[in-house]
Amino acid sequence: MKSFKPVCLIFIFVVVAGIVHSQENTGTVPGRCGTMQNLAIKLQGSPRLKQKFENERARFNTAVRQGIYRLSDIQNQQNANRTALVVPIVFHIVLSNPGVVTDAQIQAQLDTLNKDYAGNNGDSVHIPSYFKPLFGKSGIQFCLAKQTPNGEPTTGIERITTTKSSFTNTDDGVKHASSGGADNWDPSSYFNVWICALANGILGYATFPQSGADNDQGVVVEYRSLPGGSYAVYSGGKTLTHETGHYFNLYHIWGDDDGACSGTDYVDDTPNQGNSNSTCPTGIKTDNCTTTGNGIMYQNYMDYTYDDCLVMFTTEQVDRMESAFMAYRSSLLSSIACQNPVSYNIDAQLRTINLPKQRICTNPFAPVITVRNRGIQTLTALTVTTAIDDVITGTYTWTGTLAQLASTDITLNPITVTAGNHILKVYLSNPNNTTDQNTLNDSTTISFQYNPPVSSVSESFEGAVFPPAGWDIVNADNGITWQKVTGVAKTGNSSVMINNLDYNAVGQQDYLRLPDANVAGVDSVFLSFQVAAATSSDINTPGNIWDTLEVVISTDCGNTYTSLYKKYGTNLVTHTAATTKAFIPTAAEWRKDSINISNYITAGKILLAFRNTTGAENNIYIDDVNLRTVTVNPNLKSKGFLVTPSPTNGLLTIQFYPQPTDIRGIQVFNISGQKVAETIPNGQSNYYTMDIGRYSAGIYTVRVVMGNEVLTKKIIKY
């Protein structure tokens, strides 16, 4: 029996050899499951996020014991008429040659998964008699998706060719196209399973409910562990069974305590177990935690035993999984992903508006859309209508040849808009000069903004509107993002802040973008701002995942960015003591940072942004943002040395371009050759002043000694 001891909570946050340990006498792989290591990495950088996870786990454990999530028709685990909890599943095969995983292997894996969860697996005959009464049969079943999130036909298998030789369980790279993987399908409607090559001998890893970002939810499995794979003792398909257990909130049967006997899997009908099993034992096996009786349950799917020896869940493990299903994954029940998509003879689909994006930087602009033929009949003609803020701006007639399920990009007629925020609507009509039989996918809208470029920015966020005119926010995960706060500021009464303390996901990026700036023809560009930041972790914590603030620049209207400024940890914070409360800076806890952006003048127009990458630490504040440009006098730029004004009443300005490095002295002589004034520079500058107001009117000579060169300029004093 496993007791719920508070001390066990520490073990899932420690990456130990018992979590990812070597297998004995296999000659194949040195590790098995990377789930606990992945979880530890997600939580180690944020005590607050860790506390939220632990609190939710404790609440769920109590609810399971009280039977809150138990379904009325599944009280009896042996009831053959139980209602199935059907889960649409999509397999993302991400390999350099994804064709090496066959459809037959995927089907065999799906069959294994369904049999294991239903308790219909033929190898259940190996369950010893003393564990037979504990044999759990779940109502959870899995079906290959038949339609994509866009309603298009699919086999439930997508193959993605990657240049990555392998992925790791520590960074979720396989789950994102931007890092060589494959983006997930809507996790509220699909159980996402990524099949790939995993590094470091890991066979798979999964996400627990409430353990991170939605777009990371799912399971990753080593492709050689599929039925028929090359990992001999681990090619029975049981890795996916094991990892799916984690996805439905099961923990390792030994409690991840490295043999301490104080850990728990939060299930009472699994015997207490010291550590994982790494071969295929036989008969009764006891260990340091269960020394007598029937011994430990090495036959359990949540152990590390060879695939041939993993044959059962217990009844209480099934209760826990089904409870987790209802508590966290119940949206899968309403998914239509396993239903065949409806087909029509004539069906033109507007898939996406590709341009404009969130903002445009040129005006007029030409919208770009993607049209897909969802109909059976070949699409040869189509009318496309555009409207800005519900006012029709024009129509475009497309002709061509588009076969069933083929797509094409169409560039529409240019549209001119006024400054401000707008809504573009695009809709299709008259496919093949007839009526579309499915009008539900004929139109879509997108919000965007246009503001003429500015030459400077001075923003302290005191206005009533946020973001201010010309600014915008890019919040890809629709989670916590930049916001205006009052009562906290370097100057005035307001600033902007991002609440990393309450951010549930690590690694998400949010952009606070400045107005487009026109820097063509200027000589220098500078950005300055006030920043305040703190952490919830000790600033000296080694290997921590910190909040990161960057200033990034784009010369292509936000399609790509280059980082100009990047600070985190000790380089970012203005409050050095760790605080788990929301950080509010004092007047002394602000710092002014400045950046020279003059190298980007040749781009003409630039887009600057503050980019926050959350480490779930604490709040970051920004105030008093100033973008200024400097333009040098054309005469000074052409001559390199200028003395003004002439004539003068006595005050002289001596300027240099570019800034000199070896000025030894500046002198003024009267017409008789007498020196009347002199400046010996203390350091170098491109700007000096001198006063000869007390001398009589006449002609004077300004003499500059610069290295081995002498420069002179005559001026008139009146």
Residue 135's SS3 state is strand
Domain 634-717 sits in CATH at 2.60.40.3080
pTM: 0.72
pLDDT by residue (tens digit) across 17-47? 333 333 332 333 345 899 999 998 888 766 7
pLDDT confidence bin for 6, thresholds 50/70/90: very low
The CATH fold assigned to 348-450 is Immunoglobulin-like (2.60.40)
User: Distance of CA 171 to CAs 61, 324, 401, 541, Å?
Assistant: 28, 25, 43, 20
Q: Give the active site residue among 56, 158, 222, 243.
A: 243
pLDDT, mean of residues 165-174: 93
pLDDT by residue (tens digit) across 225-275? 999 999 989 999 999 999 999 999 999 999 999 899 999 999 999 999 999
Q: Are 703 and 668 in contact (CB under 8 A)?
A: yes
Q: In the predicted model, what is the mean pLDDT of the chain?
A: 91
- Terminal-to-terminal C-alpha distance of the chain: 103
Alpha helices, DSSP H, located in 302-432: 315-328
Cβ count near 375 (within 10 Å)? 22
Give, in degrees to the nearest 5, the angle at Cα 714 between 677 and 666. Answer: 35
Amino acid present at 620? I
**Phi then psi for 31, rounded to 5 degrees?**
-145, 175
Instruction: Evaluate whether 348-450 and 634-717 have a shared fold.
Output: yes
Q: Would you kindly state where each structural domain of the chain is located, as residue ranges? A: 6-334, 348-450, 457-630, 634-717
DSSP state of 580: S
Q: Are 60 and 66 in contact (CB under 8 A)?
A: no
Cβ count near 546 (within 10 Å)? 24
557-567 residues labelled b (16+ CB within 10 A) or e (exposed): bbeebeebbeb
Q: Are 504 and 479 in contact (CB under 8 A)?
A: yes
pLDDT confidence bin for 84, thresholds 50/70/90: confident
d(CA 413, CA 211): 46
Per CATH, the homologous superfamily of domain 6-334 is: Collagenase (Catalytic Domain) (3.40.390.10)
pLDDT of residue 683: 84
Top-level class of domain 457-630 = mainly beta
Q: What percentage of the chain reaches a pLDDT higher than 90?
A: 81
> Is 243 a residue of the active site?
yes
pLDDT by residue (tens digit) across 144-164? 999 999 888 999 999 999 999
pLDDT of residue 44: 77
